Chains A and B, each alone.
Chain A
């Protein structure tokens, strides 16, 4: 999966947010718990990236960069 694809996925959820630069997505409540579930489901169904419960913590979802870093770690496994 590329960073571009991730940005597109996120943009689908919230077209008004510039995910390339936005920080604090969880802390500022831009992403809700249901967004997190949608993202995890989309990553699994479309890209075969499986996130586990240990991955679902605010640090990993606060920015697109942080999330992409997590995805790369999981893809390497």
Chain B
């Protein structure tokens, strides 16, 4: 099978001196990106790495992208370890992976060694300069893994979504075509690199020959500076989570400054409210606009809806139709395809499984419910229906999972973390969607600030509740479970 690194070979041959990725401090041209990836690959192979996980603990930047590609060049799969993740979560991930090799930068080397003393630690700088062939591998084993990214799990144990080379290649072959990527695009990357969301920009760069700037996180607390940054660098393609788009428009940024020359807007992760969408349409009149939908378990985005003209404010924007090669079914309570039901996605995009977790894999991967396609389907846990045009409308979650600031959060995981703290007897987590807030109510003698501090040590920032409140008791259902509906009514009067 073709390797996605073959795309980088072709683009680096064609545009060797063009800027591929920049993080503001370091920029890598296509030939430098290829050279660094080749070095990392050769260094890992020389150390004996082969078809196994390689943890990457680096600062978000152009070099981190080169490290990911280098791991694939070695025939291994990369596992991003975020420097901002709480220690306990990193430890759980490392326990699940048991990696023999960890790649880090100078800043994170000590942390990496402390986290995983048994592993062999390679420094990016030396690895990238390792003697290597001029070109990257053109072929890859389709069944081998390309990467594993960890997402929230309801029991508190993060799940390692394992994606095959064949799925990544399929994404590389469809996404740029569907969204019309070309080498004139200059992306502003909002996503952290430890999620699959950044794959859109990665493919926009290595497949289509575009350029990507990793936007500094602090720009999102300064929306005018953000738009200025975009204009100064000629950034003309924004593929962000919807909450990042609405953050800019809700602060009425466009009254003061407008992005110039934007050609492409892609809203991912959540459906953008029509009011915010309209603001962006007016601010970027020449942009092609897409609402996207997908799941980490299906290699990023799987459905798209081209947004053209004014949208009906009383209807949600559809998430549209599946990418070519992907099958979309809505399963009713009997598990049969219907007009409305749980969204299931099938095709090459579907993950190999959760890393070393056959039980939770079995719960979400199902054989073809129609029976004639021979595909594996992933049950997303999302609910949807088809509208009169056959476009998919996203209706919400069937379980306790929410999308918060573009991240997937299992409220059960937050509750499990709270229950692990001393002095917390019961815990109920609720999501206040209109305020984009996670609230936690608990019983027990622990003081609220102790609970808050305890949770901050266990959970990533985006998962820690905005409000933590002690209650003398929480209501129960007859079966003994917490009565979330009553809690919601009592706390929010609805």
CA distance A56 to B250 in the complex (A): 11
Residues of B within 8 A of A13 (CB): 466-467
Contact indicator A33/B224 (Cβ below 8 Å) = no
Residues of B within 8 A of A53 (CB): 223-224, 251-257
Given A33-B220, A34-B436, A52-B256, CB of A41 within 8 Å of CB of B225? no
Q: Does B448 contact A (CB under 8 A)?
A: yes
Q: Does A77 contact B (CB under 8 A)?
A: no
CA distance A37 to B242 in the complex (A): 14
The residue that A38 contacts in the complex, of B217, B222, B435, B468, with Cβ under 8 A, is B435
CA distance A40 to B222 in the complex (A): 13
Contact indicator B224/A54 (Cβ below 8 Å) = yes
The residue that B243 contacts in the complex, of A14, A34, A41, A58, with Cβ under 8 A, is A34
CA distance A57 to B217 in the complex (A): 14
Contact indicator B405/A34 (Cβ below 8 Å) = yes
Main secondary structure of the interface of B (DSSP, over half): helix
Given A15-B449, A15-B452, A38-B435, CB of A61 within 8 Å of CB of B221? yes
Q: Does A7 contact B (CB under 8 A)?
A: no
Interface digits, B238-281 against A, CB 8 Å rule (1 contact, 0 not)?
00000110010011111111000000000000000000000000
CA distance A54 to B225 in the complex (A): 10
CA distance A21 to B264 in the complex (A): 44
CA distance A23 to B405 in the complex (A): 25
Chain A positions 31-58 with a Cβ under 8 Å from a chain B Cβ:
31-34, 36-38, 40-41, 51-54, 56-58
Residues of B within 8 A of A36 (CB): 221, 251
CA distance A7 to B466 in the complex (A): 15
Residues of A within 8 A of B247 (CB): 33-34, 37
Interface digits, B397-409 against A, CB 8 Å rule (1 contact, 0 not)?
0000000010000
Q: Does A16 contact B (CB under 8 A)?
A: yes
Q: Does A12 contact B (CB under 8 A)?
A: yes
Q: Does B461 contact A (CB under 8 A)?
A: yes
Q: Does A67 contact B (CB under 8 A)?
A: no
Residues of B within 8 A of A26 (CB): 218, 221
Q: Does B437 contact A (CB under 8 A)?
A: yes
Given A16-B453, A53-B255, CB of A58 within 8 Å of CB of B435? no
Contact indicator B453/A52 (Cβ below 8 Å) = no
Contact indicator B250/A40 (Cβ below 8 Å) = yes
User: Closest CB of chain B to A60's CB: distance in Å?
Assistant: 10
Residues of A within 8 A of B452 (CB): 14-16
CA distance A40 to B246 in the complex (A): 13
Interface digits, B429-473 against A, CB 8 Å rule (1 contact, 0 not)?
000000111000000000011001100100001000011100000
Residues of B within 8 A of A14 (CB): 452, 466
Interface digits, A10-22 against B, CB 8 Å rule (1 contact, 0 not)?
0011111000000
The residue that B437 contacts in the complex, of A15, A33, A38, A52, with Cβ under 8 A, is A38
Given A40-B250, A40-B251, CB of A15 within 8 Å of CB of B221? no
Residues of B within 8 A of A31 (CB): 221
CA distance A34 to B254 in the complex (A): 18
User: Closest CB of chain B to A56's CB: distance in Å?
Assistant: 5
Residues of B within 8 A of A37 (CB): 247, 250-251, 436
CA distance A57 to B226 in the complex (A): 11
Residues of A within 8 A of B436 (CB): 34, 37-38
Q: A57-B222, A58-B218 are in contact. List 10 more A-B contacts (CB 8 A).
A: A12-B467, A34-B247, A36-B221, A37-B247, A37-B251, A40-B250, A51-B251, A52-B255, A53-B257, A58-B222
Query: A-side interface residues toward B, CB under 8 Å?
Result: 12-16, 26, 31-34, 36-38, 40-41, 51-54, 56-58, 61
* 17 CB-based A-B contacts, threshold 8 Å: A12-B466, A13-B466, A15-B452, A15-B468, A16-B453, A26-B218, A32-B461, A34-B436, A36-B221, A37-B247, A38-B436, A40-B251, A52-B255, A53-B256, A56-B251, A57-B224, A61-B221
